[in-house]
Chains A and B, each alone.
Chain A
Amino acid sequence: MTQLLNAMHTCPACGLLCDDISSDAIARQQLSCGKAAKFYARSVKHPSAQIHGRAVTVREAVKAAATMLTQATSPLVAGSSTDVHGARALVDLSHATHASMTHLNASSTLRNMQVLQHRGWQTTTLTEVRNRADVILMIGTDVVSHNARFFERVVWVDEAMFTNAAQRKIIYLGGDDLNTKPGVSPDGHAPEVIACASAHLPEVVAALRALVLDKPVTGTQVAGVAVSTLKALADTLKAAKYATLVWVSKDLHYAHAELTIEHITETVVALNQKSRAMGLSMGGSDGDTSVNYAHTWLNGVIIDQPDWESHDVVVWVNSYSPDAMPPAGAAPVIVLGASDSAFATPPAVFIPVATPGLECDGQMFRVDGSVTLPLTAAKPDDLPSLREVVNQILTTLEQGALA
């Protein structure tokens, strides 16, 4: 029994955290999701620690990192691609070194946070959507580019408690190069696609909000979309038993896109005056939700916006994005990263750490924020955890302070 349970892994490759990944499927490389396939295809490597590309012992690398951090006037903890335990370790490191702390996905995370901190929002989670949603409106996104199994795991399910899953109404509003095929129902019913370029979403979503609020919208078109189409959409949302309005912050990446998100969330607020609707922010990767949440409970505030110019050392963690590095020309970089990290230019210091969910266990937040799942090592290895390496650096810093 235990063996069977342990054979199931939770995939940290995107915010959906599918927890039905069998060891068998990993071994046979039979994974339907491209991100999962890529993640589990990563092979455990045992590179030595490095200083400017030169192989050194971990002890030497830790000492070099501690020296750089001691000499720095303004370090930055960035990338932060890790799980909750890694985030805790990085917060400790940021406290000890007076560093700011940000994340690879800070711009998309903070776009959502701007909306939250301005007006709040009304949102739901995946199991509610799975069992209740009769109308799912995706705005500026196909979701599947980020969360490939969204329709399989949440929408076109065999059974839902309060709605007929196969008859859900799927609507796409705007976005660029969407893959709307997963929106086709199992019995072949096509989704409604209201085309409009992402750049025009601000006007179109503002008009939709106005129509939901029964405000007059003059003219026949908004950015090429017929007002009658939007009016019909507003009526569909109002008539729904549980309308779900989905966005992906990363797909709304134009100037002041937070205002578009706020129009979405305030449309939900307006709908909830008389009927039921909820927002759902999808996407997520690199433990972004975990790091922002843990940073918030440990510090009382959300993660920082990166400001590459004003820092003189960067601590970079890339567990789920081994190819990612800070922008070229940034300050000297200490990488506490994936064993299969790929560098165009060797960083000042590199110390390999275990990736949670691949080489060690961990815990991670799902993109909807309320659910946290344990991660189990699919390819267990004795690489040190991020916590262990951070603790070595902290010890060295303390000894340096005493010396």
Chain B
Amino acid sequence: MITVLKNAKVVDPAHGKDGVVQDIYIRDGRIVARPAANEKIDEVFDLNGKIVMAGAIDMHSHIGGGKVNIARMLLPEYQEMRRMQEPEAHICGPNCSHHATPNTTDTGMRYIEMGYTAAFEPAVLAVNARQAHMEMGDTPMIDKGGYAMLGNDDYLLRLLSQNADQKTINDYVAWTLHATQTIGIKVVNPGGISAFKFNERRQDLDQLHSYYNITPRRILQALSRAVNEVGIAKPLHVHCNNLGVAGNFQTTLDTMGASDGLPMHLTHIQFHSYGTEGDKKFSSAAANIAEAVNKNKHITVDVGQILFGQTVTASGDNMMQHLNAKVANPKKSVIMDIECDAGCGVVPFKYRDQNYVNALQWAIGLEVFLSVDDPWRIFLTTDHPNGAPFTSYPHLIRLLMDKTFRNDAFDKLNLDAQAMSNLKALEREYSLYEIAIMTRAAPAKLIGLRDRGHLGEGAAADITVYTEQADKEAMFAKPDLVFKDGQLVVKEGKVVKVVWGATHTVKPAFDLGIERDIKQYFDRYHTMQMHNFKISNDQIAEDGRNHVINHTQG
């Protein structure tokens, strides 16, 4: 079966193509070279110069696992929210439901309707990975994957406090990737989640952990090196210490140096770019952060943009979420310590444009977007649902591409916040090419998905077709066509065929000898057997929908 998309205006940064009009051929779910003249073409879509990009990839979105499901349970009122009108500066499109806690079906449907064909859950608690995969397995339409959380688990902290050699740490990291069926490693508030269990309330980068006598910097060194040495593509995914604290930009700058020049990804950096200037002792440090990102080529970031309205924050960082629970809206929250492995904090939030801090958070995120030069090293995220639901991406894209639209929104903000932001001085407007980099080519490269995020021969035929429009929110909210693995699944913004996608993993080689020590740890301290902690390919494929795609690394 061969399908051709004729007269496609291709925006494919992986191949340097910016508006090249060409035909794209699809066979058996893959993009292929022009077939021989005698081969039968089964299906023709004449796109007449419509914009064609690879399917978008969300490299950081909380789509599955314990925290997300707790948020659903905690907030039945959110089920009604999609009918509510959003006031304030967030001018929603029809697809922006502001629905912060969608069920798994909605998650897949809303993503594919926006032309996203993959999303990665960035905070898979290793011990909770089985649940995360169950939920992702029940998420239709898109591909999935996860980053396993390490760095607050007592196993690793014990290794570090006993001065274990790097090889042991590498083996443990690789073992974890296998056991949890994930594609990357994340660290959340390194050492801090553990320290909270010992009644510490803050953990600074160079402060010794009160029990293990090691610093977060040491954790970051060990893990960034392990990720690098086991040879996986995805750099260590870092949620810095001091999330959301005024003045935390210094921690963020210092963290950039913690990997000794090895690649590291700092996530939802907006929440880590705060200064202490001004009467309210809360200011934007976006310029400092962007300058450092521009200078430090080993660093990549995603933004975690906030948008105004009701949402819920779900984080592994129970230490900082315990503090944030005081400003929960509505006034309820869940804080958990979990299995000597990690923790979680689920705190509902309502970001308001007339609130000084919220308004400045909005501006800080956009300042970072507009001040980081290289779109290959900055990614478009709202840290769904923490900054805003992922359904607001089209709105965010318009804010980046349309200066007038952005400045109009800025004019509606809290006046004190306006006075503290230089956003209007930033003239930059992102191009379609740059949007395609930050939502397609760059995340595929970062995660190591060689056959995704581009439209070259051999790529999976995950393809999105847009009608070019002046209103970029409208354009990105409702693509004309979306193909998933070569099948037409969305037509004029509506799902026409249900597919189930796959789960992407990495399985680097390691010394199986580590398993003897891990098993001993489970037998001594855990409440489950080690072999039940490990998830098999068959278990991921259970109920017949999902399957594992493993990315062997060169």
Q: Contact residues of A with B, CB < 8 Å?
A: 5, 8, 10, 17, 19-20, 84-85, 88, 113, 116-128, 130-132, 153-154, 158-162, 241-242, 272, 275-276, 278, 292-294, 296-302, 363, 365, 369-374, 387
Across-interface contacts of A302 in B (CB, < 8 A): 73, 76
The residue in chain B whose Cβ has the minimal distance to the Cβ of A293 is B69
Q: Please determine whether B103 and A299 come into contact, CB atoms closer than 8 angstroms.
A: yes
**Cα of A128 to Cα of B527 in the assembled complex, Å:** 9
State whether A278 touches B337 (Cβ < 8 A): yes
In the complex, besides A117-B75, A122-B334, A158-B524, 5 extra interface pairs with C-beta distance below 8 angstroms are A10-B532, A19-B528, A20-B529, A120-B333, A297-B138
Which residues in window 188-207 of B have CB below 8 A to A? 196-199
In the assembly, what is the distance between CA of A153 and CA of B334, in Å?
26
Collect the chain B residues with CB atoms within 8 Å of residue A127's CB: 127, 339-341, 525-528
Q: Which residues of B295-352 are within 8 A (CB) of A?
A: 322, 325, 328, 331-341, 346
Q: Nearest Cβ distance between residue B16 and chain A, in whole angstroms?
A: 41
Judge whether A161 and B154 touch: CB under 8 Å.
yes
Task: Output the least CB separation between A84 and chain B (Å).
Answer: 6
Cβ of A294 to closest chain B Cβ, rounded Å: 7
- Could you say which residues of chain A place their CB within 8 Å of the CB of B66? 369-370
In the assembled complex, B101 has its CB within 8 A of some CB on chain A? yes
B401 to chain A, nearest CB (A): 32
List the A side residues contacting B198 at CB < 8 Å.
162, 276
Contacts A20-B529, A162-B211, A296-B72 given; does A370 touch B334 at CB 8 Å: no
Bound state CA distance, A372 and B130, in angstroms?
Answer: 6
B294 at the interface (CB under 8 A from A): no
Is A119 in contact with B69, judged by CB distance below 8 angstroms?
no
CB neighbours (8 Å) of A161 from chain B are 154, 340, 525
Contacts known (A85-B543, A122-B336, A298-B103); A370 close to B524, Cβ less than 8 A? no
Instruction: Answer whether residue B427 sits at the interface, using C-beta atoms and an 8 A cutoff.
Output: no
Q: Is the CB of A120 within 8 A of B199?
A: no
**Contact A113–B199 (Cβ < 8 Å):** no
Q: Which residues of A contact B336 (CB under 8 A)?
A: 122-125, 278, 370
B528 in contact with A128 (CB, 8 Å): no
Chain B residues closer than 8 Å to A17, beta-carbon distance = 528
CA distance A160 to B527 in the complex (A): 11
> Majority SS of interface residues in chain A?
mixed
Contact A297 B334, beta carbon cutoff 8 Å: no
Whether a CB of chain A sits under 8 angstroms from the CB of B79 is yes
B105 interfacial contact with A, CB 8 Å: yes
* Shortest distance from the beta carbon of A95 to any chain B beta carbon, whole Å: 9
Residues of B within 8 Å of A371, CB to CB, are 127-128, 339, 527-528
Complex formed: what's the CA distance from A66 to B338 in Å? 43
Once the chains are docked, how many angstroms separate the CA of A301 from the CA of B69? 9
Q: How many A-B residue pairs have CB under 8 A?
A: 157
Q: Are A297 and B104 in contact (CB under 8 A)?
A: yes
Give Cα distance in the complex from A276 to B343, angstroms: 14
A-B contact pairs, 30 of them (CB 8 A): A19-B529, A19-B532, A20-B529, A85-B543, A117-B76, A117-B332, A120-B325, A120-B334, A123-B336, A126-B339, A127-B340, A131-B525, A159-B525, A161-B154, A162-B198, A162-B211, A272-B335, A293-B69, A296-B69, A297-B64, A297-B68, A297-B69, A300-B103, A301-B76, A301-B79, A302-B73, A363-B134, A370-B131, A372-B130, A373-B532
CA distance A51 to B389 in the complex (A): 49
- Chain A residue nearest to B211 in the complex (CB): A162
Closest A residue to B66 by beta carbon equals A370
Complex contacts, A162 vs chain B, CB 8 Å: 198, 211
| Contact residues in B for A272 (Cβ distance below 8 Å) | 322, 335
CA separation between A298 and B103, bound complex, in Å? 5
Q: Is the CB of B542 within 8 A of A125?
A: no
- Among residues of B, the one whose C-beta sits closest to the C-beta of A362 is B542
Chain B residues with Cβ under 8 A from A276's Cβ? 196-199
Contact call B103/A125, Cβ cutoff below 8 A: no
Contacts of A120 in B (CB 8 A): 74, 325, 328, 332-335, 346
In whole angstroms, what is the CA distance A8 to B336 when docked? 30
The distance from the CB of A297 to the nearest CB of chain B, in whole angstroms, is 5
- CB-CB < 8 A to A300: which residues of B? 72, 79, 101-103, 106
Asked whether any CB of chain A lies closer than 8 Å to the CB of B135, the reply is yes
B residues in contact with A372, CB < 8 Å: 128, 130-131, 134
In the bound assembly, the distance between CA atoms of A300 and B103 in angstroms comes to 4
Smallest Cβ distance from A56 to chain B, in angstroms? 28
Contact assessment for A132 and B73 in the assembled complex, using a CB-CB cutoff below 8 Å = no
Rounded to whole angstroms, the CA-CA distance of A157 and B74 in the bound complex is 34
When C-beta atoms are compared, the residue in chain B nearest to A372 turns out to be: B130
Asked if B531 is an interface residue, CB under 8 A from chain A, the answer is yes
B527 & A154 in contact (Cβ 8 Å cutoff)? yes
Contacts of A118 in B (CB 8 A): 332
Given A119-B332, A370-B339: A298 and B138 interface contact (C-beta under 8 Å): yes
Q: How far is the CA of A289 from the CA of B198 in the complex (A)?
A: 29
The 5 closest A-B pairs by CB, nearest first: A300-B103, A120-B332, A372-B130, A127-B339, A126-B527
- Is there a chain A Cβ closer than 8 Å to B539's Cβ? yes
Residue of A nearest to B524 (CB): A159
Residue of B nearest to A127 (CB): B339
